[in-house]
Amino acid sequence: MPGRVLTRVPVTARSVFACLLFSHLLTGCGQPPGGQHQDYAPQQRASLSSVFYTGNPLPDPPTTAELDQVAERVESSQPWERELLETLYPDNHALWVYATRDSDGDGLLDFWISDYYGRFLEGDTDLDGDGLDNVLDAEPFVVTPGGQKTAGLPAHVDWAGQGKPAEMVRIQHALYDRHRVLLVERSARFTPELARSVYDVVTRVYRALFSDNGTLPTLRIIATEESSLLNPDDEAGAGDFAQVMAHSQTLEIYRRGIGASPVIQLGYLAHEIAHNIQFSYDYDAQRQDEIMRRNYFAAPHFLELVGQYGWTTVDVELEADTGYALFRPHYVVLEPHEYRYRGRSPEEWEAWLTAIYEEVGEADYLGDERITAQHILGDYSLSGPWEWYSDYVIAWLYLAMLDSLTDQCAPERRAALAAAFQNETVQGEWPWFRFENGRGAAVLAHLDQEYPLDPVDIDYLAEQYLQAAHPGICTSG
Ligand SMILES: [Ca+2]
Ligand SMILES: [Ca+2]
């Protein structure tokens, strides 16, 4: 299954479900430039100026030799590679060089590229090979002999020197010093609220993983970007809140996620970091190398886990035209299976959901008894086991927050709060996601066991996020 579905947060339109599932590259579903005749080269170049951190140094301009070679290499490459490169960067040989360069010659390309509009993404996480990650490297394109690896944050990413509020500085330092997670600004800025939401998800929702200075090898960077696609208006990306890039162990947060209310931030951040956790089930150097080189995903441990809840796989041959050697398009994910949930393909689930939707109408759709009886959270959660698991994390967290109010809030007031939260706040952002449907789902017991919530934490989260979003409904005393 080509993987636009792999790592993204719930979509906003039902029709996008089919789009995410069935779109292949270069066909349908917002796949751009060809017919649009717009030159994205200025934005593509600009994406290089914040590819690691705001205002990072730019790569060296292509040499004459590189320009000569790239033309030859493109000429002799596979037709689908040549076609995509020419579509994304028409006749722009300088950008072809950046898309294909491997500065330190280790087989990992400097940059990956977005196959939608050609945004440049971090590829090789230490592209000059001097031992210092690009994001920590004041000169990422210049080998610094002996390195300057220090325990603390280097000045170019340290919020202490950038006039940020003291609380943001404290959070950035705590996450980096204790958990080796770097908050970094790229084309967009963090807000104090977003920094706090990130901190609370890492240290409270996932306390069990991150206590005692715990780290996650698959979560290295949390970055803010304006949008996932260079064209922010393309509906293929306009609904994106955040996304995990497994190859660079990065969680990117976009404008929509930055501006969302804190309780929504809490939900999508828990969802996304659940992806980092999923990848950690199968993390080792060899698998990471396969992800870095060709975005190939083998996840036997994760698939065994979700197998307990009804997910099975059907092996498929990888299509020849998913093999890229010259450059690395981000959204071509190689998964050697298709998925079945309770024996049905995503397409069959989509047809079933659509029939109910057409029968009962938009307002009652996800509250329909046929859907609630199976604890189905929404369309996106059936697109594959990765999103299924992460969407249940949101439901699990929201239900735990509601349930923590039992002592201080009568049942009818709690029901009123739950309704307001679902129908106003959640539905306002994610119309096709109903967290209440998760109540009673078997996987919730797994989440309780893996990520036991501290009672103090869940009370705090309910107060600071849920109650704050709907004040006055569920009052104490
Ligand atoms: Ca390299
Ligand atoms: Ca470096």
For residue 303, the CA-to-ligand 2 centroid distance in Å is: 34
What mean pLDDT do residues 269-298 have?
95
Nearest ligand for residue 129 CA: 2
Give CA 306 to chain center in angstroms.
20
Find out whether 116 and 4 touch, Cβ atoms under 8 Å.
no
For residue 108, the CA-to-ligand 1 centroid distance in Å is: 4
Residue 378 β-bridge partners: 433
For residue 124, the CA-to-ligand 2 centroid distance in Å is: 10
What's the rounded Cα separation, in Å, for the pair 225 and 211?
A: 28
Does residue 171 or residue 317 have the better pLDDT?
A: 171
- Confidence at 148, pLDDT banded by 50, 70, 90: low
pLDDT tens digits, one per residue of 130-144 = 999 999 999 999 998
User: Rg for the chain (alpha carbons), in Å?
Assistant: 22
Does residue 5 or residue 63 have the better pLDDT?
A: 63
* pLDDT at res. 344: 97
For residue 110, the CA-to-ligand 2 centroid distance in Å is: 11
For residue 143, the CA-to-ligand 1 centroid distance in Å is: 13
Nearest ligand for residue 123 CA: 1
Give 89's DSSP letter. S
Angle at 403 between CA 395 and CA 438, to 5 degrees: 25
Give 8's DSSP letter. B
Token representation of residue 8: 């993204």
Nearest ligand for residue 105 CA: 1
Does residue 226 or residue 34 have the better pLDDT?
A: 226
For residue 60, the CA-to-ligand 2 centroid distance in Å is: 14
For residue 96, the CA-to-ligand 1 centroid distance in Å is: 16
Residue 8 β-bridge partners: 243
Q: What is the pTM of this model?
A: 0.93
For residue 278, the CA-to-ligand 2 centroid distance in Å is: 28
pLDDT tens digits, one per residue of 320-357 = 888 999 999 999 999 889 999 999 999 999 999 999 99
Write the CA distances from 300 to 271, 387, 458, integer angstroms.
21, 17, 32
For residue 388, the CA-to-ligand 1 centroid distance in Å is: 34
pLDDT tens digits, one per residue of 15-68 = 444 334 333 333 334 444 444 557 899 999 999 999 999 999 999 999 999 999
Nearest ligand for residue 126 CA: 2
pLDDT tens digits, one per residue of 180-204 = 999 999 999 999 999 999 999 999 9
For residue 141, the CA-to-ligand 2 centroid distance in Å is: 7
Nearest of 31, 17, 12, 16 to residue 329 by alpha carbon: 31
Token representation of residue 237: 């990306």
For residue 52, the CA-to-ligand 2 centroid distance in Å is: 11
* DSSP string for residues in 261-298: -HHHHHHHHHHHHHHHHHHHTT--HHHHHHHHHH-B--
Nearest ligand for residue 289 CA: 1
- Confidence at 149, pLDDT banded by 50, 70, 90: low
What's the rounded Cα separation, in Å, for the pair 96 and 62?
A: 9
For residue 109, the CA-to-ligand 1 centroid distance in Å is: 5
What mean pLDDT do residues 390-402 have?
98
